Amino acid sequence: MAGRQKQFITLKVPLEPTPAQAELFEKTFGCCRYIWNQMLHDQQRFYEETGVHFIPTPAKYKKGAPFLKEVDNQALTQEYNKLSQAFRVFFKHPEAFGYPNFKKKAADRDSFTACNHEFESGPTIYTTRNGIRMTKAGIVKAKFSRHPQAWWKLKRITVSKTRTGTYYCSILYETPAEECKPVLPTPETTLGLKYSMQHFYVSDDGTKASPPHWLRESQEKLAGIQQKLSRMEPGSQNYQEAVQKYRLLHEHIANQRRDFLHKESSRIASRWNAVCVRADDLRELSGLTTRGSVLEAGFGAFREMLRYKLERQGKRLLVVDRYFPSTRMCSVCGSIAPEEIPTTRRTWTCPACGALLDREVNAAKNIKAQGLAQAGL
């Protein structure tokens, strides 16, 4: 099996830790934040004094901070690896990746990562029918909606806590990639997609996705909670309860969004041999609308889901250059309008051939044609 490709699968499961295990998780979150800040501080000081980049290892701090010994050493080691990686990408692409920042408890995402190691006595991390065995914590109760296959190799786990207080564990597995023959796309088996401000996407065949607008549908509830918060005394019991309701609503919306994206991307990847999209800068697009639906709907996550789900089947995601004039080009005659078509105009008439074009369907058709042309099809 030498040379066989590998793939990685992640299972995210909710945890139900005991009070003692939850306390250990909170302590680990704090220790990871502490060790990151200490290593970053000493790196900066050492660089100022010597001009040399150097990051001390976590072992240096355990004597002066004995509480670090109470948590899994693997979690601290991973903070060292993350900080080292942050500096590597910063030095390589300083214009794209900022200088590593210190972590603050209020703003930092509570999480820690630990790698699995195989010893003669057994692995350090493993799953049971209804739990996950972790170093220091023991077996933590978990709810599996899907259990791993016997041949999957557990590589690492990441324990995190949402703002509503729910703990999750993301389990990364390595498994041999299923060998599948490349599927040759044709114009008939290729789909062109255009990201839409009004709809989630519009395809070249005229389909306009209409997902539930989660935040918009819940706007009245959110506004009501915000009004209550404005009239409450910060820190009071009622205030804390209202904040918790607000966070729970946002978490519910995020879960709905993720579920929709997975189902829609799976449906498209199963039906089509190739999908053509444009490499739009989604953050730039979000500035073009006051509705906030571009990032809310998760276009970036949807595009990534399409990519890996297609690749697993030997299919392709064909990405067209972001500056390709898909909207201004007529899909009938190929001429390009001299001016940009305003987003408020749903249809426009080609000045060259007189064809009446739906703004977004026309763009999807052009994206499909350009994607196939780039692939030499």
315/281 Cα distance (integer angstroms) = 24
Helix axes 19-50, 73-92, angle to 10 degrees: 40
Name the pairing type of β-strands 131-134 and 138-142: antiparallel
Write the DSSP assignment of 11-80 as a string of letters: EEEEEE--HHHHHHHHHHHHHHHHHHHHHHHHHHHHHHHHS------GGGGTTT-GGGGGS-HHHHHHHH
The 10s digit of each residue's pLDDT in 3-21 is 567 888 999 999 999 999 9
3-state secondary structure of 225: helix
**Average pLDDT value for residue range 240-248:** 84
Helix axes 237-271, 219-231, angle to 10 degrees: 160
* pLDDT confidence band for 181 (50 / 70 / 90): confident
Map out the domains of the chain as residue ranges: 6-176, 187-374
The proportion of the chain whose per-residue pLDDT surpasses 90, expressed as a percent, equals 55
Strand partners, 194: 202
* pLDDT confidence band for 290 (50 / 70 / 90): very low
pLDDT for res 170: 97
Residue with tokens 């703002």: 163
* pLDDT confidence band for 258 (50 / 70 / 90): confident
Sequence-distant (6+) residues with CB within 8 A of 19 are none
Give start and end residues of each alpha helix (H) in 113-218: 214-217
What is this structure's pTM?
A: 0.73
* pLDDT confidence band for 45 (50 / 70 / 90): very high
Give 241's DSSP letter.
H
Give Cα separations from 21 to 28, 168, 285 (angstroms).
10, 13, 43
3-state secondary structure of 242: helix
The yes-or-no verdict on residue 291 having pLDDT over 60 is no
Contacts made by residues 18-22, CB under 8 angstroms, sequence distance 24+ = 18/141, 21/137, 21/138, 21/140, 22/167
149/147 Cα distance (integer angstroms) = 7
Please tell me which residue, 107 or 293, carries the higher pLDDT value. 107
The yes-or-no verdict on residue 249 having pLDDT over 70 is yes
pLDDT for res 329: 93
278, 322 Cβ separation under 8 angstroms:
yes
Give Cα separations from 107 to 104, 110, 163 (angstroms).
5, 9, 11
The yes-or-no verdict on residue 243 having pLDDT over 80 is yes
